[in-house]
């Protein structure tokens, strides 16, 4: 198992390099030069030239890439000029908040998505199936930012069940309970779309599995139908559900950008949007690379989970 | 194509989606000529008018602009951008996928590595990076959304193209000297277009959502021009005081995306041939029962008695009479063989006994199955479940598919016991090891922790038998348990079953298409053809002197009892389809003794000597020599 994990980690290296190259190339497409962007349009040519030299922008593209990569490997992601603090500090701090939000949403979508899919498949064409199918369709069609806004309107403004926005109250204790109170709405709004997708996939994976011969064997043994569905069938279906969970993590992370805007959640998505609007290129660049790298690592964990579940995978 | 449209029209939800989407698209197209107020003219004194105000049906926004007009223009813009992004992504993605799939090898490798890299990003990060580089704006948002979706199309289309590129007609075209470009356009493209359509129909909703999302973040369309996303973004600050300015564009996005999703599902269902036949139905815990006619009463002291059993498959408006009235009985310690060609209904008969016929489409439409006098057909699920595996156990064909791939052999064995009585882990494990030893699996203490894929076919079949023995049942129904195995293993398994029967007094119903196996194991035999028993009686008597022409032919196909694999292809013709059985004898068309009378009426199963019966009005009187001719 340790060997398998190591192998997957090694195979991630070219992917991470690829990510850094893609991000670097996209950022190199920026028209004009960042120095002018940083210094504003009233900067003197001398100042621009000086800053360009500081940033290493006078060097050829390939050299610049390796300098940037080398710095990143040493933990130096550059400095955000708008915030005037190291990019890595800002990104990790913001990423923690995103992790809380996206992580909760991911757990919600996994649990409820799979449960809904299984119930749906077990009662195919029944009332529960139809109801779930309809709710799922609604869920995957509603824009998460619109859903978030409506939730604020109903549950925060009208019913006053939850705070309107933010991760913590401005005054008061930072306890787990307070966090959960603030987390409930954004995590739910974020989870809805992914739950729908997971439910759909789980349903079809279950239907596929339920026709297999080993299900008939389990029934012929006298295994109770509850266990046939939630044990035998679900376990086999997980083989095709888990890879999709990996994909959903990407969708949840993406959706977090909108939800962070709607709920004023101090996460990395809001940071990126603000940085783009302020043209804080180094912050965007560092943030994107950092989050993408975390996502790659997460997918390795998914692969490992898959190999733990399925003994047929060569480890 | 018309069949496709018919299928789509039958799907009412998809049709609803199509109609709603059609209306929205037409309104969006007509927007410039509709009598609407100009969308961008501000009128601050009349800001935040509520809906249904005079002169503003949907009210006005924070600058006093007419919401209805802005909604229509915004919808137009959102649809245009979403569809444009879908078309761009599909075109470029398909081109990349076709090139990679068609040329294969190194080209494929390089391209797909690049695609994998792009897919390693959570999609919005890539979109944000692109917008960050190009600057905010609707055009740039469109480019970003299209670019992010290219890998998805490339990967899908590549998969399909690889399949097509290896087909004979492509080879033929190459041999005919056609250029690669021409082959791609004339041979490959027509075959991938349906896939592109499916992929587009399932993603265009996403693209509209994503562009709306970027606009919502302020990175898409810039003021004063607004698509639905930026309308929502601008309205956000007034969410609490004037929610209608948010609700109007938000609902519109929901309606559009939902209509597209409904339509997309319909298109996918209509184009996916697997769903057409309803093959994705899940089998229920027990076969459906819908009996018409009188229900036979229990009589005699048989352990298991199948009386006039009728099992059908109802697929769409067709009825397949897989089992058309079968009688069988089994006494303690007895082994009865049920023999016939594939499709003769012998497996369905066996599965019907414990309600294991996949349903839908299977339905038991008549007869009874008496176990110790109690009718199992239509018995409550709990009764069936408590009998399954405990009193009546099954051994299935093809142990590769019938064992659960993700549970260890031991867990599957223990579960067979723990489903019926409480058992501690240690006790269960000891019992499982004991069972494995009984079926002569060497090194049982270690094998118990193996997964099925780690065992050979013969070993897996032994596990299947051990599982059937777990609760010391009275009856074992073995459905071709040796067909998938090679001859030596087959012989071992048969000996094993025979020993167990003698040691434990098991009753066995043995289903096979192999007379050699029957001769070795069975006391009595029943021959099935087209869902009915055509002959039954003691094994020796039937083997020595088959009475039904079908039995005779079946045996004539066997070159020598007990040697090698036997095939039944020597009988000319095919059995009739069980959805169109003739009125008279089902074997008439393949029979050399057929007369007019055979086809005139249904032939009953009648006594033929003391212990035998046969369903034939011209039974073969003399044994073998004549039948083999």
Q: SS3 sequence, B438-483?
A: HCCCCCHHHHCCCCHHHCCHHHHHHHHHHHHHCCCCCEEEEECCCC
What whole-number distance in Å separates Cα of residue B525 and Cα of residue B537?
A: 6
Which residues of A fall within a CB distance of 8 Å from B121? 19, 22, 250, 288, 292, 295
Peptide bond into B360 cis (omega under 30): yes
Q: Which residues of A118-151 are buried (b: 16+ CB within 10 A; e: fewer)?
A: bbbbbbbeeeebeebbeebbebbbbbbbbbbbbb
Instruction: Point out the residue among A19, A137, A153 whose CB comes nearest to the CB of B258.
Output: A137
What whole-number distance in Å separates Cα of residue B516 and Cα of residue B484?
A: 15
Picking from B191-195, B479-483, B560-564, B579-583, which range would have the lowest pLDDT averaged per residue?
Answer: B560-564
Reported as a single tens digit per residue, the pLDDT across B103-157 is 888 888 888 888 888 888 888 888 888 888 888 889 999 999 999 999 989 988 9
More confident residue, A178 or B280: A178
Reported pTM: 0.85
Q: Provide DSSP, A27-65.
A: HHT-SS-HHHHHH-TT--HHHHHHHHHHHTTTS-HHHHH
Q: What is the CB neighbour count within 10 angstroms for residue A73?
A: 9
Question: To which H or E segment does residue B348 belong?
Answer: helix B346-353
> Do the Cβ atoms of B354 and B388 come closer than 8 Å?
yes
Which residues of B fall within a CB distance of 8 Å from A288? 121, 125-126, 128-129
Q: What's the rounded mean pLDDT across residues A198-207?
A: 91
Answer whether B283 sits within 8 Å of A215, measured CB to CB: yes
What whole-number distance in Å separates Cα of residue B421 and Cα of residue A61?
A: 72
- Name which of A208, A217, A279, A309 to mutate to probe chain B: the one with the most chain B Cβ atoms within 10 A of its Cβ: A217
> Do the Cβ atoms of A80 and A87 come closer than 8 Å?
yes
Reported as a single tens digit per residue, the pLDDT across A270-309 is 999 888 888 888 888 889 999 999 998 898 888 888 888 8
What whole-number distance in Å separates Cα of residue B120 and Cα of residue A43?
A: 39
Using only C-alpha atoms, chain A has a radius of gyration, in whole angstroms, of: 24
Which residues of B fall within a CB distance of 8 Å from A141? 205, 254, 257-258, 261
Residue A165 phi, psi (nearest 5): -160, 180
Q: What is the DSSP letter of B293?
A: S
Please determine, for residue B396, whether its predicted confidence score (pLDDT) is greater than 80.
yes
The encoded tokens of residue B444 equal 């049982």
Please determine, for residue B624, whether its predicted confidence score (pLDDT) is greater than 50.
no
Q: What is the CB neighbour count within 10 angstroms for residue B626?
A: 10
Burial of A55 (0-12, 13-18, 19+ CB in 10 A): buried
What whole-number distance in Å separates Cα of residue A182 and Cα of residue A170?
A: 12
Residue A247: closest CA among A194, A204, A313: A194
Residue B203: closest CA among B260, B161, B155: B260
Q: What is the largest CA-CA distance in chain A?
A: 84
What whole-number distance in Å separates Cα of residue A58 and Cα of residue A81?
A: 19
pLDDT at position B570 is 60
pLDDT at position A111 is 96
The encoded tokens of residue B163 equal 């399949």
The residues, any chain, with a CB within 8 Å of residue B171's CB and separated by 6 or more, are none
Q: What's the rounded mean pLDDT across residues B306-322?
A: 87
What whole-number distance in Å separates Cα of residue B335 and Cα of residue B263?
A: 56
The encoded tokens of residue A173 equal 């204790």
pLDDT at position B475 is 92
Burial of B33 (0-12, 13-18, 19+ CB in 10 A): exposed
Q: What is the DSSP letter of A156?
A: I
Average pLDDT, chain B: 85
Answer whether A254 sits within 8 Å of B123, measured CB to CB: yes
pLDDT at position B1 is 59
Peptide bond into B40 cis (omega under 30): no
The encoded tokens of residue A57 equal 């922008």
Please determine, for residue A312, whether its predicted confidence score (pLDDT) is greater than 50.
yes
Burial of B424 (0-12, 13-18, 19+ CB in 10 A): exposed
What whole-number distance in Å separates Cα of residue A233 and Cα of residue A246?
A: 21
Share of chain B above pLDDT 70, in %: 93
Answer whether A152 sits within 8 Å of B239, measured CB to CB: yes
Please determine, for residue B627, whether its predicted confidence score (pLDDT) is greater than 60.
no
Reported as a single tens digit per residue, the pLDDT across B218-248 is 888 888 888 899 999 888 888 888 888 899 8
What residues form DSSP beta bridges with B326? B309
Helix residue ranges per DSSP H, chain A:
2-28, 34-39, 45-55, 61-73, 87-122, 127-141, 144-151, 176-210, 213-221, 225-227, 234-262, 268-277, 281-309
Which residues of B fall within a CB distance of 8 Å from A146? 232, 246, 250, 253-254
Which is it for strands B507-512 and B335-339: parallel, antiparallel or unpaired? parallel
Please determine, for residue A129, whether its predicted confidence score (pLDDT) is greater than 50.
yes
Answer whether B419 sits within 8 Å of A222, measured CB to CB: yes
Residue B71: closest CA among B17, B114, B28, B108: B28
Q: What is the DSSP letter of B603?
A: P
Reported as a single tens digit per residue, the pLDDT across B482-531 is 877 778 878 888 888 888 888 888 899 999 888 888 888 899 999 998 88
The residues, any chain, with a CB within 8 Å of residue A148's CB and separated by 6 or more, are A185, A186, A189, A190, A258, A259, A262, A263
Q: How far is A228 from chain B (nearest CA, A)?
A: 9
Picking from A119-123, A223-227, B541-545, which range would have the lowest pLDDT averaged per residue?
Answer: B541-545
Q: How far is B201 from chain A (nearest CA, A)?
A: 14
More confident residue, B249 or B570: B249
What whole-number distance in Å separates Cα of residue B546 and Cα of residue B537?
A: 10
> Do the Cβ atoms of A237 and A187 come closer than 8 Å?
no
Q: What is the three-class DSSP state of B290?
A: coil
Residue A309 phi, psi (nearest 5): -75, -40
The residues, any chain, with a CB within 8 Å of residue B324's CB and separated by 6 or more, are B310, B345, B530, B531, B532, B578, B581
CA dihedral sign of residues B561, B566, B570, B572? positive
Nearest chain A alpha carbon to B285: A225
Q: What is the CB neighbour count within 10 angstroms for residue A241?
A: 23
Q: How far is B254 from chain A (nearest CA, A)?
A: 5
- What is the number of alpha carbons within 13 Å of residue A74 lying toward its C-beta? 7
Please determine, for residue B628, whether its predicted confidence score (pLDDT) is greater than 50.
no
Please determine, for residue B566, whether its predicted confidence score (pLDDT) is greater than 70.
no
Q: What is the three-class DSSP state of B513?
A: coil
Residue B338 phi, psi (nearest 5): -120, 115
Q: What's the rounded mean pLDDT across residues B588-614?
A: 84
Answer whether B121 sits within 8 Å of A250, measured CB to CB: yes
Please determine, for residue B556, whether its predicted confidence score (pLDDT) is greater than 60.
yes
Q: What is the DSSP letter of B580?
A: S
Q: What is the three-class DSSP state of B393?
A: strand
Instruction: Point out the residue among B131, B393, B415 whose CB comes nearest to the CB of A223.
Output: B415
Please determine, for residue B569, whether its predicted confidence score (pLDDT) is greater than 60.
no
Please determine, for residue B625, whether its predicted confidence score (pLDDT) is greater than 60.
no
Q: Quick one: CA torsion of A98, A258, B141, A24, rounded to 10 degrees?
A: 0
The encoded tokens of residue B18 equal 């199509």
Q: Can you tell me the ipTM of this complex?
A: 0.86
Secondary structure percentages of chain B, helix, strand, coil, to 5 = 50, 15, 35
Looking at mean pLDDT, say which of B150-154, B436-440, B552-556, B593-597 comes out highest.
Answer: B150-154
- What is the number of alpha carbons within 13 Å of residue B160 lying toward its C-beta? 24
Instruction: Point out the residue among A15, A213, A277 whose CB comes nearest to the CB of B218.
Output: A277
> Do the Cβ atoms of A240 and A121 come closer than 8 Å?
no
With cut-offs at 50, 70 and 90, classify the pLDDT of residue A135. Answer: very high
Please determine, for residue A51, whether its predicted confidence score (pLDDT) is greater than 80.
no
What residues form DSSP beta bridges with B319? B314
Q: What is the largest CA-CA distance in chain B?
A: 109
What whole-number distance in Å separates Cα of residue B227 and Cα of residue B216?
A: 9
pLDDT at position A33 is 63
Residue A225 phi, psi (nearest 5): -55, -35
Q: What's the rounded mean pLDDT across residues B426-448?
A: 90
Q: What is the CB neighbour count within 10 angstroms for residue B45?
A: 6
Q: What's the rounded mean pLDDT across residues B594-607?
A: 84
With cut-offs at 50, 70 and 90, classify the pLDDT of residue A34. Answer: low
Q: What is the three-class DSSP state of B370?
A: strand
> Do the Cβ atoms of A144 and A189 come closer than 8 Å?
yes
Nearest chain B alpha carbon to A310: B406
What whole-number distance in Å separates Cα of residue A217 and Cα of residue B261?
A: 37
pLDDT at position B59 is 82
């Amino acid at each position: 198992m340790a060997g398998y994990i190591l192998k997957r980690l090694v195979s991630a290296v070219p992917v991470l390099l690829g990510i850094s190259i893609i991000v670097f190339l996209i950022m190199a497409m920026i028209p004009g030069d960042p120095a002018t962007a940083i210094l504003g349009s009233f900067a003197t040519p001398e100042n621009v030239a000086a800053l360009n030299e500081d940033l290493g922008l006078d060097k050829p593209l390939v050299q610049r890439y390796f300098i940037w990569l080398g710095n990143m490997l040493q933990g130096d992601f550059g400095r955000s000029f708008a915030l005037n603090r190291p990019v890595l500090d800002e990104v990790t701090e913001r990423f923690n908040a995103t992790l809380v939000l996206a992580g909760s949403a991911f757990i919600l979508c996994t649990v409820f998505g799979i449960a809904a899919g299984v119930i749906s498949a077990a009662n195919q064409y029944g009332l529960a199936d139809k109801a779930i199918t309809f709710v799922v369709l609604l869920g995957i069609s509603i824009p998460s930012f619109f859903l978030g806004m409506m939730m604020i309107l109903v549950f925060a403004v009208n019913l006053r069940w939850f705070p309107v926005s933010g991760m913590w109250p401005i005054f008061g204790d930072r306890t787990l309970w307070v966090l959960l109170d603030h987390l409930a709405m954004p995590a739910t709004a974020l989870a809805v779309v992914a739950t729908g997708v997971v439910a759909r996939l789980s349903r079809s994976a279950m239907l596929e599995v339920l026709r297999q011969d080993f299900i008939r064997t389990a029934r012929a043994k006298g295994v109770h139908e509850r266990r046939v569905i939630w044990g035998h069938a679900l376990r086999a279906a997980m083989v095709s559900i888990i890879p999709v969970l990996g994909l959903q993590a990407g969708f949840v992370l993406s959706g977090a950008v909108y939800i962070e805007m709607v709920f004023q959640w101090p996460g990395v998505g809001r940071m990126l949007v603000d940085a783009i609007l302020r043209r804080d290129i180094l912050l965007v660049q560092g943030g994107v690379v950092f989050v993408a790298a975390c996502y790659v690592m997460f997918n390795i964990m998914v692969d490992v989970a898959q190999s733990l579940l399925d003994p047929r995978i060569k480890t | 194509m018309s069949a496709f449209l018919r299928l789509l029209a039958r799907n009412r939800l998809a049709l609803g989606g199509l109609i709603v989407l059609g209306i929205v698209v037409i309104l969006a197209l007509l927007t410039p000529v509709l009598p609407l107020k100009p969308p961008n003219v501000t009128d601050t004194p009349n800001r935040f008018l509520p809906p249904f105000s005079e002169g503003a049906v949907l009210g006005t926004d924070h600058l006093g602009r007419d919401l209805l007009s802005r909604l229509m223009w915004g919808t137009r813009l959102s649809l245009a951008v979403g569809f444009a992004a879908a078309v761009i992504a599909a075109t470029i993605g398909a081109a990349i996928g076709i090139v990679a799939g068609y040329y294969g090898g190194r080209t494929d490798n390089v391209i797909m590595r690049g695609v994998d890299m792009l897919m390693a990003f959570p999609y919005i990060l890539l979109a944000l990076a692109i917008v960050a580089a190009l600057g905010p704006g609707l055009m740039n948002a469109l480019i970003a959304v299209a670019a992010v979706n290219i890998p998805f199309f490339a990967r899908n289309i590549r998969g399909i193209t690889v399949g097509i590129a290896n087909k004979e007609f492509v080879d033929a075209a190459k041999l005919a000297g056609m250029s690669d470009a021409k082959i791609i356009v004339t041979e490959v493209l027509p075959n991938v277009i349906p896939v592109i359509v499916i992929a587009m129909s399932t993603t265009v909703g996403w693209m509209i959502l994503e562009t709306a999302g970027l606009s919502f973040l302020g990175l898409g369309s810039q003021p004063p021009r607004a698509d639905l996303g930026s309308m929502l973004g601008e309205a956000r600050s007034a969410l609490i005081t004037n929610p209608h300015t948010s609700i109007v564009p938000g609902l519109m996005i929901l309606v559009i995306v939902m209509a597209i999703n409904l339509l997309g599902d319909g298109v996918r269902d209509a184009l996916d041939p697997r769903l057409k036949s309803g093959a994705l139905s899940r089998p229920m815990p027990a076969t459906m029962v819908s009996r018409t006619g009188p229900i036979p009463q229990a009589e005699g002291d048989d352990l298991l008695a199948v009386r006039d059993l009728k099992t059908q498959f109802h697929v769409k408006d067709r009825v397949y009479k897989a089992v058309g009235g079968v009688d069988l009985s089994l006494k303690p310690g007895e082994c009865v063989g049920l023999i016939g060609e594939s499709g003769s209904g012998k497996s369905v008969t066996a599965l019907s006994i414990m309600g294991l016929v996949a349903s839908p489409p299977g339905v038991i439409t008549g007869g009874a199955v008496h176990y110790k006098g109690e009718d199992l057909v239509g018995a409550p699920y709990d009764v069936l479940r408590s009998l399954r595996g405990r009193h009546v156990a099954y051994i299935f064909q093809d142990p590769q598919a019938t064992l659960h791939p993700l549970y260890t052999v031991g867990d599957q064995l223990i579960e067979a016991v723990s489903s019926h009585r409480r058992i501690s882990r240690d006790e269960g494990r000891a019992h499982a090891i004991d069972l494995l030893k009984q079926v002569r699996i060497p090194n049982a203490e270690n094998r118990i922790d193996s997964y099925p894929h780690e065992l050979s076919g013969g070993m897996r079949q032994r596990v299947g038998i051990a599982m059937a023995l777990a609760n010391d049942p009275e009856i074992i129904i073995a459905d071709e348990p040796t067909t998938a195995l090679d001859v030596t293993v087959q012989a071992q398994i048969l000996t094993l079953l025979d020993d167990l029967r003698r040691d434990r007094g098991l009753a066995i119903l043995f289903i096979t298409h192999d007379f050699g196996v029957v001769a070795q194991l069975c006391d009595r035999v029943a021959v099935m053809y087209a869902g009915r028993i055509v002959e039954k009686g003691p094994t020796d008597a039937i083997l020595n002197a088959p009475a039904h022409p079908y039995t005779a032919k079946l045996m004539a196909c066997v070159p020598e009892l007990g040697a090698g694999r036997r095939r039944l292809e020597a009988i000319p013709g095919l059995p009739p389809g069980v959805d169109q059985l003739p009125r008279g004898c089902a074997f008439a068309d393949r029979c050399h003794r057929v007369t007019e009378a055979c086809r005139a009426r249904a032939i009953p199963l009648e006594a033929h000597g003391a212990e035998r019966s046969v369903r034939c009005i011209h039974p073969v009187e003399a044994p073998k020599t004549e039948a083999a001719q």
